[in-house]
Amino acid sequence: MKYLTIALLLLPLLSCNKSKITELETKLSSAERENELLQGQLASVQQTNGDLLNRMEDLSVISKEGATSIRESLQSISGQTSRINELNRSIQRKDSMNLALVMNLKRSLDNINDDDVHVEVRGGKVHVSISDNLLFASGSSRLNPASERVLDKVSRVLNDHSDLSIIVEGHTDNVPIRSNSIKDNWELSTMRAAAVVRELVTDFGVDPYRLTAAGRADNDPRADNGTAEGRARNRRTEIVITPALDEFFNLAQDPGING
């Protein structure tokens, strides 16, 4: 009877404790689930941070390589700019030299008819065009006495510019030549160019190593061969004065220009 009474007294307490235990177990279970969720979120954040760090390392490498590449490109551009500026200065020197040469030739030839001698810069070269009226008889490759005057004046300027190369070109109109001794206009133009070269060397002291003789026949006309005036203009000898090109070739072949 005594123990029954005690059990009846403890029953409410046990019932109350059981309820609290159940409540605590529920809270614990909820806390565990929340902890698992937080652990998952933490792992995800750590993975994301790792990926970001790896990407930043990659970007750092790329940035260094990019900086090196940009620096090399800038150095290359700077070198090319320097070479181009040097080439431009050389071209300006050549243009100034051509201008001075033209002025000297025109002063030397100022008392010769402008219709018979024409001086101009064409294609970066100075051209002295001399009409055949001053040099040759029709169909002939023999220089006439009047040629000495004009060739003397031209040779003085040529000898004052001893570093320049000279091409003497013979030109004809398109009328076929009638001669037993000369085959065609090719031969006539070449013979006339050779005659002028020979005269410049033997009578006026121009260095033969600077001279080239070339025949162009009627393949480089300055006027219409359909008129008498045009054909007269085309029958000419051109003394083509070429600047020294070594420095231009050297600059053009420099790797800084091409690459």
Residue 257 pLDDT: 46
Higher pLDDT, 160 or 86: 160
Residue 220 domain boundaries: 92-248
Residue 168 CA to residue 152 CA, distance in Å, equals 15
In a domain, 71, yes or no: no
Rounded to whole angstroms, the Cα distance separating 79 from 259 reads 10
Structure tokens at 101: 């040469």
Q: What is the mean pLDDT of residues 175-204?
A: 94
* Residue pLDDT, tens place only, 57-106: 555 555 666 656 666 666 666 656 666 666 566 556 666 666 777 787 87
- Tens digits of per-residue pLDDT, 36-52? 666 666 666 667 666 66
Which CATH number belongs to the domain containing residue 204 in this structure? 3.30.1330.60
Are 169 and 216 within 8 A, CB to CB? yes
What pLDDT is recorded for position 170? 96
Residue 243 lies in a domain: yes
* DSSP per residue, the chain: -HHHHHHHHHHHHHHHHHHHHHHHHHHHHHHHHHHHHHHHHHHHHHHHHHHHHHHHHHHHHHHHHHHHHHHHHHHHHHHHHHHHHHHHHHHHHHHHHHHHHHHHHHHHTTTS-TTTEEEEEETTEEEEEEEHHHHB-TT--SBPTTHHHHHHHHHHHHHHSTT-EEEEEEE--SSPP--SS--SHHHHHHHHHHHHHHHHHHTT---GGGEEEEEEETSS-SS-TTSHHHHHHHSEEEEEEE---HHHHHHHHSHHHH-
pLDDT digits (tens, 9 = 90+) for 196-246: 999 999 999 999 999 999 999 999 999 999 999 999 999 999 999 987 655
pLDDT digits (tens, 9 = 90+) for 101-153: 778 787 877 777 667 888 888 888 889 999 998 999 888 999 999 899 999 99
pLDDT at 24 over 90: no
Number of domains in the chain: 1
- The pLDDT of residue 217 is 95
Residue 42 domain flag: no
| Whole-angstrom distance, CA of residue 256 vs CA of residue 246 | 17
- What pLDDT was estimated at residue 248? 46
pLDDT of the residue at 172: 95
Alpha-carbon span 40 to 35, nearest angstrom = 9
Instruction: Let me know if residue 160 belongs to a domain.
Output: yes
Tell me if 142 is assigned to some domain. Answer: yes
Please report whether residue 74 resides in a domain: no
pLDDT of 258 over the 90 cut:
no
Is residue 202 in a domain? yes
Answer whether residue 65 is part of any domain. Answer: no
This prediction's pTM: 0.62
